[in-house]
């Protein structure tokens, strides 16, 4: 299987890449920056070269184009009728590589957040990014949770003390 494209395929690719307004990844970066989050871009030492790396949150963010990464059930993910097999295979390989990257990150204790291009329209970006913010903060808390005795273990002595206390009241 080769990655060589015919001129028509290449043209199609280019039309997909260019002329789409602000790059989705840039929208995410701008939002995060405006809300006080700091990050690094395309850190090569992190597996899978995520688009945005937030070390403080041990979180890797991928901003995926719906077409190239095959956003399931999305309007923007429509396989062209010509050379259908070529596109199906190409996108399938992208998806497999994505999954491998996510798995490696996950195995190394990273939280992986995937943001789809279609979730960044003016209508949806705020909702999307608030959800991302929640995930960041939840993961941060999980990382920094103090080691405490589980609640049910603590509960038992307290219950015993209460029972023991009863005779004093009689
Ligand atoms: Zn989509």
Residue-by-residue DSSP string for 62-101: EEE-TTTTT-TT-TT----STTHHHHHHHHHHHHHHHHHH
CATH number of the domain that 119 lies in? 3.40.960.10
Give the HSE-up count for residue 30: Cα atoms under 13 Å, Cβ half-sphere.
Answer: 9
Angle, in degrees to the nearest 10, between helices 125-143 and 24-34? 60
Quote the CA–CA distance of 66 and 64 in Å, as a whole number: 6
Which has the minimum average pLDDT: 17-26, 30-39, 48-57, 66-75? 17-26
Residue 85 included in any domain = yes
C-alpha of residue 119 to centroid of ligand 1, in Å: 7
Q: How many domains would you assign to the chain?
A: 1
Residue 2 included in any domain = no
Closest CA to 61 of 17, 123, 110: 110
Who surrounds ion ligand 1 at CB < 5 A?
A: 66, 71, 74, 76, 116, 118
C-alpha of residue 78 to centroid of ligand 1, in Å: 10
C-alpha of residue 65 to centroid of ligand 1, in Å: 7
Residue 163 included in any domain = no
The arithmetic mean of pLDDT across residues 72-99, rounded, is 93
C-alpha of residue 91 to centroid of ligand 1, in Å: 14
β-pair type (40-41, 52-54): antiparallel
Does 38 or 150 have the greater pLDDT score? 38
Residue 22 included in any domain = yes
C-alpha of residue 117 to centroid of ligand 1, in Å: 6
Q: Say what percent of the chain tops pLDDT 70.
A: 75
Mean of all residue pLDDT scores within the chain: 84
C-alpha of residue 99 to centroid of ligand 1, in Å: 17
Residue 49 included in any domain = yes
The arithmetic mean of pLDDT across residues 152-168, rounded, is 52
Structure tokens at 32: 């995060």
C-alpha of residue 136 to centroid of ligand 1, in Å: 22
C-alpha of residue 150 to centroid of ligand 1, in Å: 41
Residue 127 included in any domain = yes
C-alpha of residue 67 to centroid of ligand 1, in Å: 8
- Asked if residues 10 and 23 have their Cβ atoms less than 8 Å apart, the reply is no
Residue 154 included in any domain = no
Residue 147 included in any domain = no
Q: Which domain range does residue 99 map to?
A: 15-139
């Amino acid at each position: 299987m080769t990655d060589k494209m015919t001129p028509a395929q290449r043209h199609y690719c280019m039309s997909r890449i260019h002329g789409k307004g602000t790059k989705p990844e840039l929208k995410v970066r701008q939002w995060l920056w405006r809300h006080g989050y700091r990050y690094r871009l395309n850190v090569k030492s992190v597996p899978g070269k995520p688009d945005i790396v937030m070390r403080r949150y041990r979180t890797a963010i991928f901003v995926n184009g719906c077409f190239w990464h095959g956003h399931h059930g999305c309007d923007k993910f429509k396989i062209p009728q010509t050379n259908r097999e070529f596109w199906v295979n190409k996108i399938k390989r992208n998806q497999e590589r994505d999954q491998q990257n996510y798995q490696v990150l996950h195995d190394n204790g990273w939280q992986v957040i995937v943001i789809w291009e279609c979730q960044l329209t003016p209508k949806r970006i705020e909702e999307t990014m608030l959800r991302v913010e929640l995930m960041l903060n939840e993961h941060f808390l999980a990382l920094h949770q103090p080691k405490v005795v589980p609640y049910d273990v603590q509960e038992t002595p307290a219950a015993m003390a209460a029972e023991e206390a009863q005779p004093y009241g009689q």
